[in-house]
């Protein structure tokens, strides 16, 4: 019972990271594709300005995911990190480069330096979600087992590749939707149009990839396929489809407050649908939630930790997002740093 609750917490934390971290990697994706220094100058400045105050918080969700995983389901953690060694190691390197590239680009003045750090930031924003998605695909297709060791075929398989690509497309959608709304907030209607067009394209890519994934999982990850087409899993798939349609409709008009909600709905319900489809397994069909769960006492404490986190962290994060979306947060300018 308590193990099930913690499994749901883990799933929700993954969904939160997919949405928070996803927005951030998505911004990196559009930074990468913004074109040359001249053409991409304005989108890039918007990306800098919009992501600056919130990207670190977006990425802390990942730490939550890891902590819940190794405390609540130590065996799962051990198996995932042993089997999916290479994609996870590369994702870790990607996270360093992404954060460092973004943080260092801002204070650098020379164009060459900005280009270098910007490229580092953008390329790793593409690779990190891919490798994290590939690792998730390895779990979904049951390739993470106690006996498997790190090897390429553990993650270079159809499900992993598709999960990786889906991760990229989903982050690109989120990034573009959020940036479009930011552009409107900063009174830049043409950038709003610019990012809405890209959000729509990315959303189409998500839809196509999702359909392909459904076909591929039929053979490659039968348990997940069955879960996605029946019961709770199916319910969340339908929610995801409806959210996709709503997002597409909202993207055809100037950004308001709602496109962000529906875009988050797409990604979150897709992640939840995947988790629900895996029931009762942590890794289909070799490790159930009950088998993988840690000590009973620990799980109860973990529930308490989660509860405190909800009480303590959610208001703080809400305050940050509120201040940010109301334009109260702004980096120091050169003038502020001179006497």
Partner 1 sequence: MHTVLLLADAPAQTLPARSMMAFTLVTHIVLVPLGVALPLITLIMHGYGLRRNDATALLLARRWSAVMAVQFAIGVVTGTVLSFEFGLLWPGMMGRWGDVFGIGFGVEAWGFFLEAVLIAIYLYGWRRLPSRAHFLLGLPLPFVALLGAFGILAANSWMNTPRGFSLDAAGNPVDVNVRKAIFTPILGPEYWHFVVAMFVTAGYVTAGVYAMGWLRGRRDRYHRLGFTIPFTFAAVCTPVQFVLGDSIARQVFHKQPVKFAAMEIVWKTDTHVPEYLFGRLHPNGTISGGIRIPQLDSILAGFRPDTKVTGLTTVPASDRPTPTQATIVHWTFDIMVGIGSLLLLLALWYGVLWLWRRRLPASPWFFRAAACAGVASVVAVECGWITTEVGRQPWIVYQNMRVAEAVTATRSTSLWIMFALVVVVYVFVFGSLLVVLLKMRTRWRLADRQGGPLPPKETPEPDTPETDTPYGPRSTGSRL
Restricted to residues 186-245, the positions that interact with partner 1 (CB under 8 A) are: 186-188, 191
Nearer to partner 1, 89 or 156 (CB): 89
Residues 113-172 that bind partner 1 (CB under 8 A): 117, 149-150
Q: Binding to partner 1 by residue 279, rule CB under 8 A?
A: no
Could you report how far apart the first and last alpha carbons of the chain are, in Å? 61
Distance (Å, rounded) from C-alpha 108 to C-alpha 85?
34
Binding pattern for the stretch 39-58 against partner 1, x by CB under 8 A and - elsewhere = --xx--xx-xx--xxx-xx-
Minimum distance of partner 1 from residue 56's CB (angstroms): 5
Nearer to partner 1, 79 or 160 (CB): 79
Strands 287-288 and 281-283, by their bridges, are: antiparallel
Nearer to partner 1, 253 or 311 (CB): 311
Residues 70-99 that bind partner 1 (CB under 8 A): 70-72, 74-75, 77-82, 85-86, 88-89, 91-93, 95-99
Structure tokens of 121? 């930031």
Q: Which long-range contacts (CB under 8 A, 24 or more apart) does 74-77 make?
A: 74/294, 75/146, 75/287, 75/291, 75/292, 76/282, 76/283, 76/287, 76/292
Residue with tokens 């060694």: 85
Nearer to partner 1, 52 or 205 (CB): 52
Nearer to partner 1, 253 or 338 (CB): 338
Nearer to partner 1, 104 or 234 (CB): 104
Structure tokens of 129? 């979600």
Distance (Å, rounded) from C-alpha 77 to C-alpha 69?
6
Residues 280-319 that bind partner 1 (CB under 8 A): 294-295, 297-299, 301-302, 305-306, 308-309, 312-313, 316-317, 319
- Contact segment (CB under 8 A) with partner 1 among 63-71, 230-238, 247-255, 282-290 equals 63-71
DSSP string, 14-33: HHHHHHHHHHHHHHHHHHHT
The one among 63, 156, 257, 290 contacting partner 1 by CB under 8 A: 63
Pair 249, 196: CB distance under 8 Å: no
């Amino acid at each position: 019972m308590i193990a099930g609750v913690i499994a749901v917490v883990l799933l929700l934390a993954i969904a939160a990271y997919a949405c928070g971290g996803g927005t951030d990697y998505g911004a990196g994706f559009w930074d990468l594709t913004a074109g040359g220094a001249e053409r991409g100058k304005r989108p890039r400045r918007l990306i800098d300005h919009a992501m600056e105050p919130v990207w670190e918080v977006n990425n802390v969700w990942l730490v939550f995911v890891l902590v819940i995983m190794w405390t609540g389901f130590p065996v799962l953690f051990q198996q995932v990190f042993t089997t999916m060694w290479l994609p996870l190691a590369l994702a870790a390197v990607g996270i360093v480069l992404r954060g460092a590239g973004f943080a260092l680009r801002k204070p650098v003045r020379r164009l060459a330096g900005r280009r270098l750090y910007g490229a580092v930031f953008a390329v790793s924003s593409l690779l990190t979600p891919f490798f994290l998605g590939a690792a998730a695909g390895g779990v979904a297709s049951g390739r993470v087992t106690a006996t498997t060791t790190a090897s390429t075929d553990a993650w270079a398989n159809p499900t992993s590749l598709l999960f990786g690509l889906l991760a990229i497309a989903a982050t690109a959608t989120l990034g573009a939707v959020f940036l479009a709304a930011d552009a409107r907030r900063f009174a830049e209607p043409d950038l709003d149009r610019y990012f809405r067009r890209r959000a729509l394209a990315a959303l189409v890519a998500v839809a196509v990839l999702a359909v392909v994934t459904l076909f591929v999982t039929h053979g490659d990850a039968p348990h997940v396929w069955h879960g996605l087409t029946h019961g709770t899993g199916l319910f969340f798939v339908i929610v995801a489809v409806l959210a996709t349609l709503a997002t597409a409709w909202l993207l055809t008009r100037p950004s308001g407050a709602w496109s962000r909600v529906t875009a988050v709905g797409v990604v979150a319900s897709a992640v939840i649908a995947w988790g629900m489809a895996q029931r009762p397994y942590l890794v289909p069909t070799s490790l159930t939630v009950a088998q993988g769960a840690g000590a009973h006492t620990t799980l109860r404490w973990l529930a308490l930790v989660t509860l405190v986190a909800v009480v303590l962290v959610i208001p703080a994060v809400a305050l940050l997002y509120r201040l940010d979306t109301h334009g109260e947060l702004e980096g120091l300018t050169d003038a502020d740093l001179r006497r």
